[in-house]
Amino acid sequence: MSKTTRFDGTDGLLLILAIAIGGSAALFRQMAIVPRATVGICAASPAPGFCGPRELVLKLQYFHGFGWVALGLGLLAFSLGNRLAAALAIGIGVAAVVNYNAAYGIIGLALAVFAWIGVHTGRYQSSS
């Protein structure tokens, strides 16, 4: 248990991936969903290009899609010790919290963090 663990370059890239997913979800929400004017803009006959992704995000939010995906990826990362699945679960978990799917999103995010730490502490045989 006295093993010193260090994060390597792969961990840095995966951390950037997680931050990019969560940050872009928060930015998209603030720019395309939160302003009330976007409702009227998207109701216009030639709707702008951001209205399609906006509708998809709102449907995923309504059906808890972000939370379920984060939970699934978190379980996958926790059971297999996969750092890529952990990074995706962390990023999508943040997106889930931003989009009001916090219950499942937080659980998936927590499982992913535990898995990522577990890879570095020797819980898993392979550090894929």
pLDDT in tens, 55-70: 999 999 999 999 999 9
Distance of alpha carbon 65 from alpha carbon 15, whole angstroms: 22
Across all residues in the chain, what is the average pLDDT?
91
DSSP 122: T
pLDDT in tens, 23-80: 999 999 999 999 999 999 998 888 899 999 999 999 999 999 999 999 999 999 999 9
Burial 3-39 (b: 16+ CB within 10 A, else e): eeeeeeeebeebbeebeebbeebeebbeebbeeeebe
**Candidate from 34-38, 48-52, 117-121, 123-127 with smallest mean pLDDT:** 123-127
Per-domain residue ranges for the chain? 10-121
